[in-house]
Amino acid sequence: MSRKTPPRLQNRRTPRWLFCALEQRFGRFSLDAFATSRDALCPRFLTRREDGTRHAWLDRTYANPPFKLMAEALAQAVREAERERRSIVLGPVGCSQEWFHELAIRGTVYKLDRRVNYDLPNGQPTTSADRDTDIFAFGGEHTNPDWRRGSFRVRRLELER
């Protein structure tokens, strides 16, 4: 029996403090690849209708895709890394998922030092995270040269709040 993620968790918003911490660590982002006009974190963004998995990304793209699009979003990040464009993708810890072993392995997986409480689509903060988050970094210094040998590149990422 498959377990589906409830729709309210598919479209979770990135808390502003987390986005700022990621920009501090990885540099200013130029594109938010999965946004709405209400919750875009960058001046340039792609909406759900535009579908961030089907458009070219800019260097330093930020992506917080719905869980159901993780494989497609990571595949796009890999394609963009091949074009020498860097990106950061937020996602659930997916160690047992095919996308983790075939796509996330090509970049650097950052393990956060805490659970993140995401905001609901209406902007309301939540207080009880139901899963851990990984940060997947692709392109440039984040490329994993040993991915073909099955070696993951994992780093710890400490967040100040």
pLDDT digits (tens, 9 = 90+) for 75-122: 999 999 999 999 999 999 988 999 999 999 999 999 999 888 888 777
- Give the model's pLDDT for residue 125: 76
- Give the model's pLDDT for residue 51: 87
Strand positions, DSSP E, 93-151: 108-112, 133-138
Domains by residue range for the chain, with CATH = 8-157 (3.40.50)
- pTM to 2 decimal places: 0.89
Residue 24 — very low, low, confident or very high, per pLDDT cuts 50/70/90? Answer: very high
CA distance 34 to 97: 21
Q: Is the pLDDT of residue 23 over 60?
A: yes
Q: Is the pLDDT of residue 56 over 90?
A: yes
CA distance 106 to 119: 29
Contact 119, 91 (CB under 8 A): no
Top-confidence residue, 12 or 11: 12
**Within a 13 Å sphere around the CA of 59, how many CA atoms are in the beta-carbon half?**
5
The amino acid sitting at 57 is W
Strand positions, DSSP E, 36-79: 45-47, 61-63
The amino acid sitting at 9 is L
Q: In what order do the strands lie in the sheet with 133-138?
A: 45-47, 31-35, 61-63, 87-92, 133-138, 108-112, 154-157
Mean pLDDT, residues 48-74 taken together: 93
